[in-house]
Amino acid sequence: MNFYESKKVNILEQLPLGLIEKGSLKTFEKGKILYRKGEQDKGLNFIKKGIVGLMGFSVSGDDTLLRVIGERNLLGYRSLLSSESYHASALALTDVELIYFKFDSVQQLQHEVPELHNLLTQTLAVDLRRAEQRLKDITGKRVISRVIETLIYLKQIHPDHPWTRREIGEFCGARTETVTRTLSKLERDGYIQKSGREIKLNDIGKLLEFSEQCEIF
């Protein structure tokens, strides 16, 4: 079980119809900010359509893609459940449609939809594993392994999204130029195929095998 392995969970099943009806629909164009680091808001956002990136922005321009939230997933639960303000900003990586649910407190969530509360606890636990594994990878592994694992992960979440070199780099801690060079090498060695902006992974098993090879001194 590594960070790039992901089980898809159907959050929708845990959202009672009554709740959904109370939610309000919002739309954001690609590139727009859904919310900013530091803002305080006790609410949940259900991503109906599109992909959202949880971003750690930096003055010097080396932004980090902390988390990727795909369709039919929730956003904002970490802040709600910790009663903290947002620790990062949410960016629309595509055009996004979401349903926003307002809560007054964690207690309300827990009381009104206890199953959802439990599901979110579990999601937090999985997110934490993923973040800590990436923390380990980012210092311990070379860039080629990180790019490979990031490719696999991002493709899994949203196979059809044309992930940019920038996004891949921001996720695994590398510059776009470095990602480009790495992808070129992977294509030369027959592990992937690039056609225009599209990246096709030939064989995930072989890729992971190659990734491990690269770590042996």
Residues that bind DNA (CB under 7 A): 62, 142-144, 162, 164-166, 173-178, 180-181, 183-184, 194, 196-198
Q: Which residues lie below 8 Å from residue 92, measured CB to CB, with a gap of 6+?
A: 28, 29, 30, 31, 32, 33, 34, 50, 51, 52
Nearer to DNA, 31 or 114 (CB): 31
Contact pick of 60, 196, 197, 205 for a second copy (by CB under 8 A): 60
Contact pick of 104, 139, 188, 197 for a second copy (by CB under 8 A): 139
Nearer to DNA, 47 or 91 (CB): 91
Cα Rg for the chain, rounded, in angstroms?
A: 18
Angle between helices 165-172 and 176-188 (to 10 degrees): 100
DSSP-based three-state secondary structure for 2: coil
Contact pick of 44, 81, 96, 152 for a second copy (by CB under 8 A): 81
> How far is the C-alpha of 150 from the C-alpha of 176, rounded, in Å?
13
**From DNA, a second copy, none, interface partner of 66 (C-beta below 5 to 8 A by class):** a second copy
Element (H, E) at 145: helix 143-157
**From DNA, a second copy, none, interface partner of 132 (C-beta below 5 to 8 A by class):** a second copy
Question: 3-state SS string over 41-66?
Answer: CCEEEEEEECCEEEEECCCCCCCEEE
Segment interacting with a second copy (CB under 8 A) among 9-17, 43-51, 74-82, 180-188: 74-82
DSSP-based three-state secondary structure for 98: strand
Residue 165 lies near a second copy (rule: CB under 8 A):
no
Residues 26-55 close enough to bind a second copy by CB under 8 A = 54
Task: Summarize as ranges the residues that interact with a second copy (CB under 8 A).
Answer: 1, 54, 56, 58-60, 62, 64, 66-67, 77-79, 81-85, 87-88, 106, 110, 117-118, 120-122, 124-129, 131-136, 138-140, 173, 215, 217
